[in-house]
Amino acid sequence: MSRQEKRAAARLAAVQALYQMDVAKKGINEILAEFEAHWIGQEVEGDQYNPAEVAFFRNILEGVLADQGEVDVLVDRALQQGWPLRRVEAVLRAILRAGAYELLVRKDVPARVAITEYTDIAGAFFEGEEVGLVNGVLDALARRLRPDELMGTAR
């Protein structure tokens, strides 16, 4: 399995873990233990989860939590006016937070890669507008946070 595939699996696991933390109100240590022991690279309820780059999974999860105030403000600003992040569906909220964190902090990950990966994750959970919403919000954030990286690319 390639590094890109392991990172894609880590992103998906991070989104699922953020969702679990948000909805089930579980703590970081419980979530890390649960995902690393029972989800990543395992079969769960008939679904096979790919092996993931665990350090990358941990970085996204811990980073979103550590920088959640800043991440949420950035996402709120990029969402349509009058539609704050707290009103967004929980899976979508997890996707936007993880994507925004990568764009904000993980400069080693090209902006286009982060946008594409999280748009693909949205496509696994939703059909239609939500996928476009993730793409649009992350593209707007990337243009704001990394303008030099995206100069000359069409909207």
Exposure b/e, 17-56, CB count within 10 A at least 16 = b: bbbbbeeeeeeeeebbeebbeebbbeeeeeeebeebbbeb
> In the prediction, which pLDDT does 52 show?
86
pLDDT tens per residue across span 78-131: 886 666 667 788 999 999 999 999 999 999 999 999 999 999 999 999 988 889
pLDDT tens per residue across span 30-57: 988 888 887 777 777 777 677 788 899 9
> In the prediction, which pLDDT does 17 show?
94
CB-CB contact of 95 with 118 (8 Å): yes
CB-CB contact of 38 with 44 (8 Å): yes
- DSSP assignment of 5-74 equals HHHHHHHHHHHHHHHHHHHH---HHHHHHHHHHHTTTSEETTEEPPP--HHHHHHHHHHHHHTHHHHHHH
> In the prediction, which pLDDT does 152 show?
58
> In the prediction, which pLDDT does 1 show?
83
Residue 135 amino acid letter: N
> In the prediction, which pLDDT does 62 show?
95
pLDDT at 154 over 60: no
The number of beta carbons lying within 10 Å of the beta carbon of residue 155 is 7
Q: For residue 58, how many C-alpha atoms fall within 13 Å in the half-sphere facing its CB?
A: 9
pLDDT at 63 over 60: yes
Mean pLDDT over 137-153 rounds to 86
pLDDT at 67 over 60: yes
Q: Which residue has the tokens 């990568």?
A: 102
Taking the domains of the chain in order of start, what are their residue ranges?
3-150
CATH of domain 3-150: 1.10.940.10
Which residues lie across from 43 on neighbouring strands?
A: 48
Q: Which residue has the tokens 């699922």?
A: 16
Confidence of residue 150 (pLDDT cuts 50, 70, 90): confident
The tokens of 117 are what? 């990966």
Contacts of 8 (CB under 8 A, 6+ apart): 50, 117, 120
